[in-house]
Amino acid sequence: MPQLQRLAITAPQICDRQIDLTREQQHYLNRVLRLQAGDQFIAMDGRGHWWLAVLEARETGLFASIAEEIAVNMELPVEITLMAALPKGNGFDEVVRQATELGVASIVPVTSDRTLLKPSAQKVDRWRRIAAEAAEQSERQIVPTILEPVSFDIAIKDCGQKYRFICVARGDNRHLWDCLIGLEPPQPPLVRGEQELEPHFVGAVPPCPPPAGGELSIVIAVGPEGGWTEGEAERAIEFGFEAVSLGSRILRAVTAPIVALSLVGAAFEKC
């Protein structure tokens, strides 16, 4: 199959093997990508499905018809939740973008003792758009879930993952890599088939979403500028987190998540 452009859509847009394109999506496909009626592209619902779609025209505008489902397996064999304290400025934009490229399943923005940013609803919407764009670019099967910001104490208390790690800059802690290579390798995820063409509707998601059946599930907590406070690290440990190191150097708040997720990919991804 030739290289095709990808477009993230939502489940309610699909009906009777047709995709109801928004005005923004019509503009993007027609004006930005220069696609015309009859041209093909890949539609992805952000929940694991890819379809070969054909752009079509009608009096009210453009829509797309579904030609066939595409069987793909692009995801890591481990479900990762990134619990990241909000850095100052627009640094979280890059955290979301690069974490999506590296295979994260969900991102929990956290306000901590040293957090300066107080995000608005518009910020959260922006992060979700960034995640969708990054998923298209990096050929992800899913668009990561970006949750509403929560306090550190709520995030660690409501976390349901079995393997929980909090990255601490200083101290005599095991390296995250040493922790990862000791975990039991998960079974390869199943590729969805044609019979699942109709997408599932997804309801509200808790601060740390539970893992899908049979998947190895990991949560990694990364701190803000200045790192977690000693009290925050201690409270996380009380709730089952293991304090880990990302190396002997001090990393920026926007660098640490990338290092942590790269280690997970190196530990579990098979070419």
What are the tens digits of pLDDT across the range 40-94? 999 988 777 889 999 999 988 999 999 998 887 788 989 999 999 999 888 999 9
| Interatomic CA distance for residues 133 and 143, integer angstroms | 9
Residue 156: the pLDDT is 95
Contact yes or no for 240/160 (Cβ under 8 A) = no
Q: Is 240 left (phi over 0), alpha (psi -120 to 50) or beta?
A: left
Regarding predicted confidence, which is higher, 155 or 60? 155
| Interatomic CA distance for residues 113 and 115, integer angstroms | 6
Contact yes or no for 166/228 (Cβ under 8 A) = yes
- % of the chain surpassing 70 pLDDT: 87
Strands 40-44 and 6-8: parallel
Residue 255: the pLDDT is 96
Residue 50: the pLDDT is 86
- Could you report the per-residue pLDDT of 6-42, keeping only the tens digit for each? 898 888 899 889 999 999 999 999 999 999 999 999 9
The token duo for 108 is 């929990």
Under the banding of pLDDT at 50, 70 and 90, the label for residue 180 is: very high
b/e sequence 220-232, b meaning 16+ C-beta within 10 Å? bbbbbeebbeeeb
pTM for the model stands at 0.75
Quote the mean pLDDT of the chain: 86
Q: Which domains does the chain have, with CATH numbers?
A: 6-70 (2.40.240.20), 78-268 (3.40.1280.10)
Tell me the DSSP string of 188-247.
PPPPP-GGG-SPPP-----SSPPPPTT-EEEEEEE--TT---HHHHHHHHHTT-EEEE--
The token duo for 141 is 């099967």
